[in-house]
Structure 1
């Protein structure tokens, strides 16, 4: 069960004070390391000996907390329970639900767990986990709103190539190769557009012209089939914008199979390349190969055309 895996991971990760570390940022955007201390269910005053099965996960237990003591009056996931006739919740499921006085609880953090460790990744770190999951069995939960209990709804995965993550309350099947390709595409597309534009398909016309019509069409053609697919939502949750113009050009040439071509005067499409204002030869390395393209003066414009 996912909660049992997470609970075991927490026990193996916390220090003697019950603390685990999280890399995050403060209000000013500075990187900091925060100490997170979750409630230990076995130290709760309402934990009591109880022989039976857990109301939520259905696993046998020797200790538990009564339903009315663990669930608030706004809890609505009664239909998730595996043993609805039972009266107690096991320690592992309690751990996933309990919230501290400082309002720290598992539900407020995206999390990754295997049998050895519990991680509370920031979005950059979660990006890496989705491309390179930990050793199985593992669980990955993405807390979007940070308000919903999703740990007991997740799935335990036994493959690093095809696995399921919880995106808020929605299970999303991830093919790691497909995910990585889509992520790379989106991160380069973000050079010229916002996440909202890419998700909705409602683009700012000026940004299309600035990016280049042919270039925009090439990206849009590949992204459009994923619109409405939760896989795109997961990608957007962790995507990091490419900042390098050279890297964008390299991707266009190597992945989108596009080439640089000089336009006739008065073209409506500005050049992505001409924006640097430098002349001469510009070389970029794509997939270990050097791709040198001619650099034209700023007064001229360039287009990217599909082969």
Structure 2
């Protein structure tokens, strides 16, 4: 098989971004125990042949992932190492890689020689050159631990499977079979790195979607607040209108009462006038009194 075909496969992987997944999923856990802090990353994939899984378990002396300061400097290997290396060197203990292929499980703990096989600065720069960014200690430790997974797979060619790292089948079936048989390590390694890049892009996309959803919620909140403000203004206007109507009703009620009193007084005046007229008529109709009737009788005196 000539190099042109392999370059074509590499180009295809680059374009696809290892985007074809066979029902794959990745998750991570960070359990703490009495011996230190363990970070677990597990990738699972399935196809018609069965299930594959790759578990990477990194043990730290203590949990510094959530307490270490973030990196705010330039995205270069030297700058990242200056920020995180001291913490990493003090806390890193071991990395154990477990691979399950068609129910066959194998695992290994890599304790040394990784820095010699995949020098830290060169490895970080390779990831940065492919578009990966590292901003916190959790990401730094995770990406450095990928060197242990790569070393384990290189030493165990029988456990390499393109499905596990999301290499899609191609028309070049012979080259694909060479990958399955572990005879094309450089292509497998390239696909492994592109898998990391693709996962990083996916995380950025998910973060952007979450930010967009938060933005939409904020905008919705603003709209709801604006609507509430309008409703409050409308309620205030209705309250003012109700106050005016109540004042008018009060005024109408007072006016009605005054009108009733005026009518009663008018009726009373008319009744008084009527009585006066009646008395005048009676006075005129009565005969005049005699002088004798007007004389007063002297009271009798009784002496004892």
TM-score, length of structure 2 as denominator length: 0.21
TM-score, length of structure 1 as denominator length: 0.21
Q: Which has the higher strand share?
A: 1
Higher relative contact order (CA 8 A, sep 6+): 2
